[in-house]
Chains A and B, each alone.
Chain A
Amino acid sequence: MIQLKHISKHYPVGFGKNEILRDIDLRIFEGEFVSIMGPSGSGKSTLLHILGLLEEPSQGEYLFDGEPVHKMNEKKRTQLHRGAIGFVFQAYHLIDELTVYENIETPLLYKNMPAAERKSRVADILDRFNIVAKKDLFPNQLSGGQQQLVGIARALVGEPKVILADEPTGNLHSDQAKEIMELFKQLNEKDKITIVQVTHSELNATYGHRIIQIRDGKIA
């Protein structure tokens, strides 16, 4: 499903360059639940961003579902964001001016989905996540765990093939964190969604099938 070949990433610094990732080879199969771990500054977030098409590798090839991403134009990439990839962030990144309902609805708007279908999809997911009662609240009226729940709901509503999560529990206390991780596990097992998460927590990593350790820009 995801295949990285000889991926490197570096930024120019002064006259030299700062290497973040060096020659990464990685395959992630459909239905996997992978955790990327490593110390601060090791390049794990950058790796996730490259997987999510938010950053471009300096060198190497990236195939998504067999298609070469590094050759795609912006339009194609937008298509992938709409259909295939869902994001979950440490800081949730909900839109403050939108209600829970509207936040979840947003990805569907960009897919130009008819209103009736949108409504039923959002209703389904609200129902499933047990947040129907909160649908008209704004993000700042929710707790952190609830916000992250909405964030996941938003990532999920577009029925992506893969969810990329950047320290999804980093801002949550342990009870909430556990709840979120259980949810991921369930999504992976029941809905067959591929999940790639970046995490610091050994505990969280155990929810996945496989751990990729990154050190100094290389897979250890």
Chain B
Amino acid sequence: MLNNYLRIGWRNLRRYKMYSSINIGGLAIGLAVGILILVWVQDELSYDRFHEKGDNLYKLTVSFTSGTDVQTWEGMPGPIAVHAVKEIPGVQKAVRTRDNWGDISKFSYNNNDFFDIKTGFVEPSFFTLFTFPLLKGDVQHPFLDNTSLVVTRSAALKYFGTTDVMGKVIAGDGKNYVVTGLMEDFPEQSSIRYEFMLPFSILQAKFGGNGSWTTLDDDWGDFFFTTYLQLAPHTSIEKVSAGLARLRPDGQQEAAIKYNVQPLYDVHLYNPDLSEGSIKIVRIFLIIAIVILLIACVNYVNLSTARAMQRAAEVGVRKIVGASRRQLFIQFIWESVLVFALALVLAVIMILLLIPFYNNLTDKHLSFGLKNLQMIFAIGLSMLVTLIVAGIYPAVILSSFNPLKTLKGGLTLSGGNVSFRRVLVVVQFLIATVLIVSTLVVGQQLRYIKSKALGYDKENIFSFYSGQMYDHLEAATQELSGSPGIAAAATANQSMTGIDASTGDTYWDGKEKNESLIVHAFSADKNFVQMMKFRFVGGQNFTNSKADSAHFIINETAAKMMRMKDPVGKKFKLWDKDGIIIGVIKDFHYASLHEKIGPLVIHYSPVSFMVYVKTKAGEMDKAVASAERLYKRYNPGFPFRYNFLDDNLDKIYKLDRRTGKLFNYFAGIAIFISCLGLFGLATFATGQRVKEIGVRKVLGASVTNIITLLTSDFLKIVMISIALSVPLAWYIMNKWLEDYAYRITINWGVFIMAGGLAIMVALLTVIFQAVKAALANPVRSLRTE
């Protein structure tokens, strides 16, 4: 029986080649894209899920509030972890880590120097709290002393050339470290990643004191250490958070400070302040995957029910020779299964071809193999759901035909059926139009980001860390500014694309008692302010004189927040630096456009550790070579690393651009599949009206009349879709834009353009069939009836 069903299904597919290729092709594309997105979503959701104790692991962050400005840091003071375990009920264990912040800048092994080994200082509990198994070494005592080192397998291979590394010695800035542990590589989906792990006790031993605090475990002042807690099951996170705020022994407690206890599982998808991060994108793409599968399903349903007309006679005969409705239903379900199986094979081939490209696009290392359970799961699920959604309706329709009517040949799909199909097409084009609008809006926003005046000059400027050059920086910058290719040189202590150092330690004329101001602060010299071409609205630049050490330049937002009408000359205090404001500059973007410009203070320092170089136009290479020569003189053996400002700017919008690109692709695919469906429907619709067209032509209708007749029906459907898409797309895109503090407003042009595009594509799809039908000889079409 099954054999028979499949055989007929296969013959039907072969006989109606165009129908079959549209149907299978559309499904395959939908499935391939749907599966790819689902795999990506699955990958994103699986971050940090591999820890055996993961359910009870949390990461701490801390938020400071000042006015409406909230800043969140991921570093904790050292004592938090120690005291939390001792004093807060439910906190069982803790582990502290800290990245290598230049503590060790160079590792040397076998006469090879390595500068960029990702190194972290971790407490021994790192290996027991987390599921990071050691291949060699003792999990309980991974480090013997402060010269011990644990390496990952890949790092062992990369730097030692072997995994037989136990006992091997590597030098770090001249000190020797002995490998005492070999760790399995961090899983791809780990938010914690290192190559080398050194004992945290190195940092404790090195601690030089901070005010009255004498050990790292007492120092409440420096928020340096990433801290993870293991809580007892069912511990209240709010209570732990409140407990953390009471730990500080001197009772000093700023009301505006709040400790956040973030589940480890959330670290990848949520921001440190617990707000939604990339989970939003995951959600958007999950929806897009479902939507694309839905479009493919709609196609299948539409084409199958349209085709049902041609299968009607067969259904009638089968019923008369004894087929029950159930048997027919099963037959058509099997035919759907056959089509789906073929589509799946095609989809798998597409995925295999697309995966390298897709990995590149998404910046992941997804692989496609049958070993991959996630992949099988994603495929199985999407298959099953689409089959159920798409297979049942046509099977019900087909098996329900009245045999007598089908044999008389007078069967036309009833009104309800036809309008159902129209609704489906409306849904398809609605989705497609929303996606077109989204693509246009995303594109506009990305262009806006690129072209928005940032408030400073970003052209031809690169920066680098001074390193050992710092001790001679004044002379070095002097020399630099006269070197070939270089127009100017300056120093500052922050990156222009992310001035994230900030402090609430401020005082100013007219400050009220309860008032506080957290400002972004960085140090720079006169040349820097000049080089960036900050626009002064009042006062002036530093002069590079002694007096500058008590001078501040603030931005307009800072002036506004301090309620200063005429800030120049007013007193201002930053940390213990008392001085006056000598200049007010226009606001400039010191971070991505996602963030609002906050208050900012530039304080004077004759030299800071970051060197900025402006090149002469067209002499970039020469300028870089000059800077490198100088850098190498002070930092022999170290590689010269520099970044151009506009490259950095590009980098901070990488995710935005990737989202935009993915949107383009998905919209294109959705439109393509929708058009396949429309094309199929147009073919059937004109096929059914052959006789009508013949009669009309005999009665004197022109070719144009016929084409108008045939296309206007579809155009109406597309118009309805467009009308419905406007509010939907507007709502969705406004939501998306909310993520940007600086954004475009959606204008009508976008909708007109998207609508026009949808109409054009639909017309192109339909018109081919219409013209063919209109040009056909009426005598022939009437004879065949």
Contact, CB under 8 Å: A94 / B321: no
Contact, CB under 8 Å: B320 / A95: no
Is A27 at the interface (CB under 8 A from chain B)? no
Question: Cβ of A97: which chain B residues have Cβ within 8 Å of it?
Answer: 8, 11-12, 15, 314
Separation in Å of the A48 CB from the closest CB of chain B? 11
Partner of A54, one of B1, B323, B404: B404
- When A97-B11, A110-B324 are in contact, do A81 and B314 touch as well, CB less than 8 Å? no
Nearest A-chain residue to B9, judged by Cβ: A97
Contact, CB under 8 Å: B404 / A109: no
Contact, CB under 8 Å: B321 / A49: no
Contact, CB under 8 Å: B322 / A49: no
Question: Cβ of A95: which chain B residues have Cβ within 8 Å of it?
Answer: 8, 314, 317-318
Separation in Å of the B321 CB from the closest CB of chain A? 4
Contact, CB under 8 Å: B327 / A93: no
Is B319 at the interface (CB under 8 A from chain A)? yes
Is A184 at the interface (CB under 8 A from chain B)? no
Q: What residues make up the interface of A, taking CB atoms closer than 8 Å to B?
A: 49, 52, 54-55, 74-75, 78, 81-83, 87, 89, 91, 93-98, 102, 105-107, 109-112, 154-155, 158
Partner of A75, one of B1, B12, B320, B324: B324
Flag B1-33 by CB within 8 Å of A: 1 or 0 each: 100100110011001000000000000000000
Q: A94-B317, A97-B8, A105-B4 are in contact. List 11 more A-B contacts (CB 8 A).
A: A54-B404, A78-B322, A82-B321, A82-B322, A83-B322, A91-B407, A95-B317, A97-B11, A102-B7, A110-B324, A110-B327
**CA separation between A6 and B8, bound complex, in Å?**
43
Question: Cβ of B15: which chain A residues have Cβ within 8 Å of it?
Answer: 97
Partner of A93, one of B8, B317, B322, B325: B317
Contact, CB under 8 Å: B324 / A78: yes
Among B1, B317, B327, the one with the most A-chain Cβ atoms within 10 Å of its Cβ is: B317
**CA separation between A111 and B327, bound complex, in Å?**
11
Contact, CB under 8 Å: B313 / A93: yes
B residues 138-157 near A (Cβ < 8 Å) are none
Flag B519-562 by CB within 8 Å of A: 1 or 0 each: 00000000000000000000000000000000000000000000
Contact, CB under 8 Å: A110 / B322: yes
Contact, CB under 8 Å: A74 / B325: yes
Nearest A-chain residue to B3, judged by Cβ: A115
Separation in Å of the B368 CB from the closest CB of chain A? 36
Contact, CB under 8 Å: A109 / B319: no
Question: Cβ of A74: which chain B residues have Cβ within 8 Å of it?
Answer: 324-325
Question: Cβ of A82: which chain B residues have Cβ within 8 Å of it?
Answer: 321-322
**CA separation between A81 and B327, bound complex, in Å?**
14
- When A54-B320, A74-B325, A87-B320 are in contact, do A98 and B313 touch as well, CB less than 8 Å? no
Is B316 at the interface (CB under 8 A from chain A)? yes
**CA separation between A106 and B319, bound complex, in Å?**
11
Separation in Å of the A145 CB from the closest CB of chain B? 19
Partner of A89, one of B1, B314, B323, B407: B407
Is B172 at the interface (CB under 8 A from chain A)? no
Contact, CB under 8 Å: A111 / B322: yes
Contact, CB under 8 Å: B322 / A158: yes
Nearest A-chain residue to B405, judged by Cβ: A54
Separation in Å of the A73 CB from the closest CB of chain B? 11
Q: State the main secondary structure of chain B at its contact with A.
A: helix
Is B277 at the interface (CB under 8 A from chain A)? no
Separation in Å of the B201 CB from the closest CB of chain A? 78
**CA separation between A155 and B320, bound complex, in Å?**
10
Separation in Å of the A108 CB from the closest CB of chain B? 9
Separation in Å of the A53 CB from the closest CB of chain B? 9
Contact, CB under 8 Å: B322 / A81: yes
Question: Cβ of A81: which chain B residues have Cβ within 8 Å of it?
Answer: 319-322
Question: Cβ of A87: which chain B residues have Cβ within 8 Å of it?
Answer: 320-321
Contact, CB under 8 Å: A110 / B321: yes
Q: Give 5 closest A-B pairs by Cβ, nearest first.
A: A82-B322, A107-B321, A110-B322, A54-B404, A81-B322
Is B403 at the interface (CB under 8 A from chain A)? yes
Nearest B-chain residue to A110, judged by Cβ: B322
Question: Cβ of A154: which chain B residues have Cβ within 8 Å of it?
Answer: 321
Question: Cβ of B8: which chain A residues have Cβ within 8 Å of it?
Answer: 95, 97-98
Question: Cβ of A94: which chain B residues have Cβ within 8 Å of it?
Answer: 317
Nearest B-chain residue to A166, judged by Cβ: B407
**CA separation between A49 and B405, bound complex, in Å?**
11
Question: Cβ of A75: which chain B residues have Cβ within 8 Å of it?
Answer: 324
Tally of B interface residues using CB under 8 Å: 23
Count of A-B contacts judged by CB separation below 8 Å:
65
Question: Cβ of A110: which chain B residues have Cβ within 8 Å of it?
Answer: 318, 321-324, 327
**CA separation between A206 and B323, bound complex, in Å?**
34
Separation in Å of the A136 CB from the closest CB of chain B? 13
Separation in Å of the B13 CB from the closest CB of chain A? 10
Contact, CB under 8 Å: A49 / B404: yes
Contact, CB under 8 Å: B1 / A109: yes
Contact, CB under 8 Å: B318 / A106: yes
**CA separation between A94 and B319, bound complex, in Å?**
12
Separation in Å of the A102 CB from the closest CB of chain B? 7
B residues 289-333 near A (Cβ < 8 Å) are 313-314, 316-325, 327
Contact, CB under 8 Å: A109 / B4: yes
**CA separation between A75 and B320, bound complex, in Å?**
13
Question: Cβ of B320: which chain A residues have Cβ within 8 Å of it?
Answer: 52, 54, 81, 87, 93
Separation in Å of the B465 CB from the closest CB of chain A? 75
Nearest A-chain residue to B325, judged by Cβ: A74
Question: Cβ of A55: which chain B residues have Cβ within 8 Å of it?
Answer: 404
Question: Cβ of A96: which chain B residues have Cβ within 8 Å of it?
Answer: 314
Question: Cβ of B322: which chain A residues have Cβ within 8 Å of it?
Answer: 78, 81-83, 107, 110-111, 158
**CA separation between A75 and B319, bound complex, in Å?**
12
26 CB-based A-B contacts, threshold 8 Å: A49-B404, A52-B320, A54-B403, A78-B322, A78-B324, A81-B322, A82-B322, A91-B407, A93-B313, A93-B320, A93-B407, A95-B8, A95-B314, A96-B314, A97-B11, A97-B12, A97-B15, A102-B4, A102-B7, A107-B321, A107-B322, A110-B318, A110-B321, A110-B323, A111-B322, A155-B321
**CA separation between A97 and B11, bound complex, in Å?**
6
Nearest A-chain residue to B314, judged by Cβ: A95
Nearest A-chain residue to B10, judged by Cβ: A97
Contact, CB under 8 Å: A93 / B316: yes
Separation in Å of the A21 CB from the closest CB of chain B? 15
B residues 634-679 near A (Cβ < 8 Å) are none
Question: Cβ of A98: which chain B residues have Cβ within 8 Å of it?
Answer: 8, 11
Question: Cβ of B404: which chain A residues have Cβ within 8 Å of it?
Answer: 49, 54-55
- When A97-B8, A97-B11 are in contact, do A158 and B321 touch as well, CB less than 8 Å? yes
Separation in Å of the A33 CB from the closest CB of chain B? 21
Nearest A-chain residue to B321, judged by Cβ: A107
Separation in Å of the A18 CB from the closest CB of chain B? 15
Separation in Å of the B154 CB from the closest CB of chain A? 58
Question: Cβ of B314: which chain A residues have Cβ within 8 Å of it?
Answer: 95-97
**CA separation between A95 and B331, bound complex, in Å?**
15
Nearest B-chain residue to A155, judged by Cβ: B321
Question: Cβ of B327: which chain A residues have Cβ within 8 Å of it?
Answer: 110
**CA separation between A75 and B325, bound complex, in Å?**
9
Question: Cβ of A93: which chain B residues have Cβ within 8 Å of it?
Answer: 313, 316-317, 320, 407
**CA separation between A154 and B317, bound complex, in Å?**
11
Separation in Å of the A35 CB from the closest CB of chain B? 21
**CA separation between A213 and B730, bound complex, in Å?**
72
Separation in Å of the A29 CB from the closest CB of chain B? 24
**CA separation between A93 and B318, bound complex, in Å?**
10
Separation in Å of the A55 CB from the closest CB of chain B? 6
Nearest B-chain residue to A96, judged by Cβ: B314
B residues 200-257 near A (Cβ < 8 Å) are none
**CA separation between A52 and B1, bound complex, in Å?**
26
**CA separation between A93 and B312, bound complex, in Å?**
11
Nearest B-chain residue to A82, judged by Cβ: B322
**CA separation between A93 and B316, bound complex, in Å?**
9
B residues 102-117 near A (Cβ < 8 Å) are none
Nearest B-chain residue to A87, judged by Cβ: B320
**CA separation between A93 and B323, bound complex, in Å?**
15
Separation in Å of the A91 CB from the closest CB of chain B? 8
Question: Cβ of A52: which chain B residues have Cβ within 8 Å of it?
Answer: 320
